Amino acid sequence: MTESGTVYSIILAFLFAIVAGLVGSISHVALPGLGLAFLFHFNPLLGGGATLFLGTLLIWKLQRNESFSTEVAIGVVFAGSVAIGAALTPTEDLVDAFFGKFEQISGFTFIIGVLAVALIVFFIFRYKSALILNLFSPELAAATGINLNRLNLLFLLSFSLTVLIGLRFMGALLAGALIIVPAATGRRLSNSIGVFLLASTLASVLAVGIGFLINTYVFRSLSIAPTIVIVSVLLFCLSLFWPKT
């Protein structure tokens, strides 16, 4: 679970600046796949991963159309995904689909998670300069020879993979919160990209770790995903008292 918090924080620093308040919307694209998984009793990560991948490709395709902005593309896919997911998911499984459920993972699943984390970290640090340039001046990025369509696709796929890593225990509704809130905390505490990444990482890992401890030893009746998000929001509130440099 801690590995999820770490990788969330790495990709969230860029994501916060690029799509800000819409980051949670992409995580909802997993809902139809989760609904099918609960309905036909197969691994929810397979269903969620499939629809995340397809939804990401659809968002990328829509945003390439000059008449659609990224926000519009995400909004359309978000609305459709929530409606289809709610219709497909059995009533008794809606809570797990929306808010996640903590359960033990196998050694194989853990290894797959570590490899996914390594892939995301490699992408972020490999394309860090291109991502920053694309953020501030897409025209200049294109002029330097950067393939913006491919870069945007790889970034969206990396984000979807990040969501998938924590999807089972965070759920489709709260997965985005573990991305945007620590990023907001990091932005509040930093004045450079390096400090931003470090502060976001610490905020995310602390939220996951403290939330897990509270859920395990104090409030055992609480679901772990809401607990983690509450801790993350409290950390952000504390950051408001930190003097801005």
Residue type, 22: L
Residue 172 lies in a domain: yes
Residue 52 lies in a domain: yes
Centroid of chain to Cα 46: 17
In contact, 224 and 211? CB cutoff 8 Å: yes
Residue 30 lies in a domain: yes
Residue 70 above 80 pLDDT?
no
pLDDT digits (tens, 9 = 90+) for 106-145: 667 778 778 888 888 888 888 878 877 777 777 888 888 8
Residue 157 lies in a domain: yes
Q: How far is CA 7 from CA 93, 95, 114, 205, 208, in A?
A: 27, 25, 10, 9, 12
In contact, 232 and 177? CB cutoff 8 Å: yes
pLDDT digits (tens, 9 = 90+) for 4-56: 555 555 555 555 555 544 455 677 787 788 888 878 888 777 888 888 888 88
> How many domains are contained in the chain?
1
Question: Which residues, at least 6 apart from 152, have a Cβ–Cβ distance to it below 8 Å?
Answer: 60, 63, 134
HSE-up of residue 101 (Cα within 13 Å, Cβ side): 10
CATH code of 147's domain: 1.10.3470.10
Residue 110 lies in a domain: yes
Residue-range definition of the domain harbouring residue 73: 2-239
Residue 76 lies in a domain: yes
Residue 244 lies in a domain: no
Q: How far is CA 206 from CA 14, 66, 120, 209, in A?
A: 20, 41, 20, 5
Q: How far apart are CA 11 and CA 98, in angstroms?
A: 22
